[in-house]
DNA sequence: TAAACTTAGACCTTTACGTCA
DNA sequence: AGTGACGTAAAGGTCTAAGTT
């Protein structure tokens, strides 16, 4: 996999978006553009872009959590036990957390509390998001029931997930641009070096085995073999590559010639 | 049929909380 | 133990499309 492959991948990402945006260029509204990016219901699969979420590891659900989460967890509100659950990841802790949750009914009218979705819930939501970046009301309801969450929570999760996805998409596009610039710079440099090699080769052909310049007037970088004339007369730079070892003078600072 | 109104859904911004270093 | 950074759930506001009157 070469650099082109990398760039193509990145470009593919960018082009994918461009195609979407192209379709909606007439609409003249930022929200419509965003809607087109996700192409409601089934038309767009975020997973195609392979933008792995930072918490993809949530997909790894151990047996303990599956067992614990099977306990019909109500809409989850986290408390201090969440940290311990992360540290230990054991069944007891998960149970403790689930038991500490309060029901939806309890939450009505109370100031908002931040819940922490279980890994299984996150994993399922993530899977669904890979299939559809948006949900129909039916899908939302079904998913909410499956996860023992309120439909509103599922809705909010998808909204936030879409926002995160777009952020990553933008970041990927930025990275793509940087890679492209890097590639162009390297291509330029490569061309320049190729040209230099050709020039040196031609010098070898036109001035074989003949050198009027004293050895002490030339220096050569041991690493890149570029020759630098340190003499006073610019016309004395003729040399033969085949005899380069004769002209090498000690480099006090090899990189200086490069 | 067109205009006004309503509603649902999506996005954006902000807030608040949990976690981690 | 205290703190700042970061991730993310949630709330509130705005906008738009579709449906209704």
The pLDDT assigned to A179 comes to 86
A139 Cβ nearer than 7 Å to chain B strand: no
The nucleotide whose C1' lies nearest the CA of A113 is B17
**Can you tell me the distance from the alpha carbon of A58 to that of A74, in angstroms, rounded to the nearest whole number?**
20
Closest by CA position to A46, among listed A169, A142, A209, A153:
A169
Domains of chain A, by residue range, sit at 3-178, 207-258
Contacts 24+ apart (CB under 8 A), A162-168: A162/A38, A162/A133, A162/A134, A164/A53, A165/A46, A165/A51, A165/A129, A165/A133, A166/A34, A166/A37, A168/A51, A168/A53
A119-163 pLDDT tens trace? 888 888 888 888 888 888 888 888 888 888 888 888 888 988 888
Stated in angstroms, how far is A159 CA from B1 C1'?
Answer: 38
What residue is closest to B11 (Cα–C1')?
A31
Task: Give the gyration radius of chain A's Cα atoms.
Answer: 32
Tokens encoding A229 = 């004339």
Distance CA A139, CA A41 (A): 10
- Summarize pLDDT for A211-224 with one digit per residue, the tens: 444 444 444 554 55
Residues 172-211 of A with CB under 7 A from strand B: none
pLDDT digits (tens, 9 = 90+) for A57-74: 333 233 333 333 333 333
Among all protein residues, pick the one whose CA is nearest to the C1' atom of B10.
Answer: A35
For the segment A17-41, what is each residue's pLDDT rounded down to a tens digit? 333 333 333 333 444 434 444 443 3
């Amino acid at each position: 996999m070469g650099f082109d492959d990398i760039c193509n991948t990145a470009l593919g990402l960018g082009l994918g978006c461009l195609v979407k945006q192209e379709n909606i260029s007439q609409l003249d509204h930022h929200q419509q553009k965003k809607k087109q990016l996700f192409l409601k219901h089934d038309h767009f699969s975020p997973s195609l872009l392979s933008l792995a979420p930072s918490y993809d590891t949530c997909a790894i659900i151990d047996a303990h959590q599956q067992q614990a989460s099977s306990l019909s967890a109500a809409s989850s509100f986290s408390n201090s036990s969440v940290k311990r659950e992360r540290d230990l990841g054991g069944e007891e802790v998960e149970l403790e957390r689930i038991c500490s949750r309060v029901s939806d009914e309890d939450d009505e009218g109370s100031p908002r509390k931040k819940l922490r979705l279980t890994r299984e819930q996150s994993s399922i939501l993530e899977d669904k998001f890979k299939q559809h970046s948006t949900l129909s009301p039916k899908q939302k309801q079904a998913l909410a029931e499956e996860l023992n969450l309120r439909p509103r929570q599922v809705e909010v999760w998808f909204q936030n997930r879409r926002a995160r996805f777009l952020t990553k998409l933008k970041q990927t596009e930025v990275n793509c641009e940087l890679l492209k610039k890097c590639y162009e710079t390297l291509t330029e440099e490569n061309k320049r070096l190729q040209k230099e090699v050709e020039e040196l080769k031609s010098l070898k052909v036109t001035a074989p085995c003949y050198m009027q310049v004293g050895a002490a007037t030339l220096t050569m970088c041991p690493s890149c073999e570029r020759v630098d004339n340190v003499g006073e007369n610019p016309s004395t730079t003729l040399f033969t590559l085949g005899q380069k070892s004769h002209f090498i003078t000690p480099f006090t600072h090899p990189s200086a010639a490069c």
